[in-house]
Homo-oligomer: A and B are copies of this chain.
Amino acid sequence: MEVKSAIEQKSLLSVLPPGKRARLRRLLFEFGPGHGTLLFLPIDQGIEHGPRDFFPNPASKDPEYQFSLAAEAGYSAIACQIGLAEKYYPDYAGQVPLILKVNGKTDVPPSDNALSTTNASVEDAVRLGADAVGYTLYVGSPRQDEDLQQLKGVREDCDRYGMPLVIWAYPRGSGIDKKGGQYSFYAIDYAARMAMEMGADIVKLNMPKIDPEKDKDSPAPYNEMDVSQEEAVRQVVESAGRSLVVLSGGSRVDDDQLLQQTRYIMEAGGSGVIYGRNVWQRGHSEAMEIIEQIKEVLLDSVTRIP
């Protein structure tokens, strides 16, 4: 398969130290669809939203479901919190790479001052044989001071152990709400850059949603830009610079839209997708089917060699 680089983004792997390079290569080339793409299965909704996300497909309440799916379908990695990593990953060690998500929170209190504190460490990730760690950064939150300080510790440990760092770059908090909201082009563009500047090797982004009504509240020039969603995606990927970008899924959407946005992110120079509910809220065979379709799009549309 031949891939071409749309934007003149230089290689990420070439500037990474050996530990990060070895682990990232595993995700990009040895597991999953390969050819420099990333297909992640997230199973952290149980703490972020509670078990309510599992009711559409009761089988999904048992983490075995996601772990076996990830292994069987050939994912680049599965992303979960420490409890699942310690109690479910051992049976799948070596079969599918692990991204240990090191912070998280319930969605019970309001998120005006969002901060997600760490519940696990990079050392835990090393001990468990993980190939990356995940960190949620609430970009623009009134508590960004604590967030950035905390991320510093995680990033430093990643540098110390050669562990790739995946940042869930989520605009959040009262300030963001006043400037167009967490899905605005402004907010996601800022989040992409922020994550890259804070040391992310991979940035996880939501799809920007163009909403002229809300965008009027964004700072210039965003408040008067007239861009298509495709263009917005291209921009946010560019803002992440040398960091790789994976697109977040969110709540369930219809299949066409899912595959289309997968294509968008790949054509924009992104490296892959991280879809949870859109995959495991389906029964096994139906899930395997959509995974196959996603993989195809990934490989068809890949434009960047990392």
Please list the residues of chain A having a beta carbon within 8 angstroms of any beta carbon in chain B: 8, 10, 12, 15, 44, 46-47, 50-52, 55, 61-64, 80-84, 86-88, 90-91, 104-106, 108-110, 115-121, 124, 127, 139-142, 144-146, 148-149, 151-152, 155-156, 159, 171, 173-176, 179, 186, 189-190, 192-200, 219-222, 235, 238-239, 241-243
Q: Do B148 and A105 touch across chains, with their CB atoms under 8 A apart?
A: yes
Could you name 13 residue pairs across A and B whose Cβ atoms are closer than 8 Å?
A: A46-B193, A46-B239, A50-B186, A51-B193, A80-B197, A83-B196, A83-B199, A84-B196, A88-B241, A108-B190, A110-B175, A119-B148, A121-B156
Q: Do A152 and B61 touch across chains, with their CB atoms under 8 A apart?
A: no
Answer whether A109 and B144 are a contact pair too, CB < 8 Å, given A10-B64, A149-B117.
yes
Chain B positions within 8 Å of A142 at CB level: 109
Task: Contacts A61-B239, A83-B199, A106-B140 known; list 16 others, CB within 8 Å.
Answer: A10-B64, A15-B87, A46-B193, A47-B197, A51-B239, A52-B222, A81-B198, A84-B196, A88-B242, A104-B197, A108-B144, A115-B145, A117-B145, A117-B149, A119-B151, A121-B156
CA of A14 to CA of B16 in the docked complex: distance in angstroms? 37
Q: Do B243 and A87 touch across chains, with their CB atoms under 8 A apart?
A: yes
CA of A144 to CA of B192 in the docked complex: distance in angstroms? 27
Q: Which residue of B lies closest to A81 (CB)?
A: B197
In the complex, the count of this chain's copies comes to 5
Chain B positions within 8 Å of A51 at CB level: 189-190, 192-193, 235, 239
CA of A196 to CA of B44 in the docked complex: distance in angstroms? 12
User: Which of A46, A84, A197 is most buried by chain B, counting CB atoms within 10 A of its CB?
Assistant: A197
Q: Do B120 and A83 touch across chains, with their CB atoms under 8 A apart?
A: no
Q: Do B149 and A118 touch across chains, with their CB atoms under 8 A apart?
A: yes
Answer whether A50 and B189 are a contact pair too, CB < 8 Å, given A198-B81, A221-B55, A241-B62.
yes
Q: Which residue of B lies closest to A196 (CB)?
A: B83
Q: Do A12 and B144 touch across chains, with their CB atoms under 8 A apart?
A: no
Q: Given B109, B117, B199, B242, which contacts A173 in the complex, CB threshold below 8 Å?
A: B109
Q: Do A82 and B198 touch across chains, with their CB atoms under 8 A apart?
A: yes
Q: Do A175 and B10 touch across chains, with their CB atoms under 8 A apart?
A: no
A161 vs chain B, min Cβ distance (A): 14
CA of A144 to CA of B111 in the docked complex: distance in angstroms? 12
Q: Do B106 and A52 touch across chains, with their CB atoms under 8 A apart?
A: no
